[in-house]
Amino acid sequence: MKKIALSGAGGQLGAVLRTALIARGVPLRSAAGSKPLVPLVDGEDLMHGDLRDSAVVDRLLQGVDVLIHLAGTSVEKPLPEIIENNLRALVEVYEGARRNGVRRIVFASSNHAIGMYPVIDKLDLDCALRPDGFYGLSKLWGEGLARMYWDKHGIESICVRIGSCIERPTEPRHLSTWFGHDDLLHFVDRCIEAEDVGFLVVWGVSANKRSWWDNSGAERLGFKPTQDAEAFAAEVLARPNPLDALGQRFQGGSFVGIDYSRDDIAAQRPVAVAA
């Protein structure tokens, strides 16, 4: 059975995956940042530390077949923090994978790499990247790094542009971006087991009727999502939309308005959610 490493195991998404993978008996090494994890089972393989440190990275990746890389800054922050956690640390991770013979990395990219597209646009996987901030920009850079390590070193990567990975949709934007937990676990299973993926980018999204993203490229993984946010539509649309006009117009939602200085009226006019 393949040995799996999970970075960012102390985060919201990491906690979901860690719990599920342990319950399935997957040989798992889980890593957090500065704060140690509390074991979920006796003898659990745990570690913590700064992934900018090559020795920490080697402890994480020794004997590992597949890394699920969720660690890093996951919200919009000043550029210096983004550079340290999402660029420098990612280079250390890929160099560590090269040293330790890790064959595949599942890289947590983000929908914020394309957040400046209007919600009326339907996007393919080969769309031009339009980040909505420094966080989204770091994911664009990470996808490029993953591509380079496949082309130059043969390390496979699956870059997943994660939408809104939460238990259930709570606002209108989620009707398009929701990535249900059942679909997440199915996706990770396919990332571990699929053969010969090379370099691949997929949308991390469920089979939502209102999805903005064409995920047909995920067929190479055997990923077939079954959840649909439409089941929650009536409940969600009965509540006020928490996003301002700008957030409702662009796919990046609330991230778009951070340090946004354009004053054009067209960019700020809301777009109605389709019935």
Distance, CA of 45 to CA of 53 (rounded, Å): 19
Largest CA distance in the chain: 59
Q: H/E element holding 261?
A: none
Q: State the sign of the Cα–Cα–Cα–Cα dihedral 127, 189, 179, 81.
A: negative
CA distances 148 to 27, 91, 95, 142, 156, Å, are 28, 11, 12, 10, 10
Amino acid residing at 44: E
Q: Could you give the CA distance from residue 134 to residue 75 in angstroms, rounded to a whole number?
A: 9
Residue 67: name the closest of 77, 75, 55, 58 by CA.
58
Handedness of CA 212, 178, 134, 266 (dihedral sign): positive
Task: Respond yes or no: is residue 117 known to be catalytic.
Answer: no
Catalytic residue among 117, 135, 149, 260: 135
Cα(first)–Cα(last) distance of the chain, in Å? 46
| CB distance 242 to 171 below 8 Å | yes
User: Which residues are known catalytic residues?
Assistant: 135
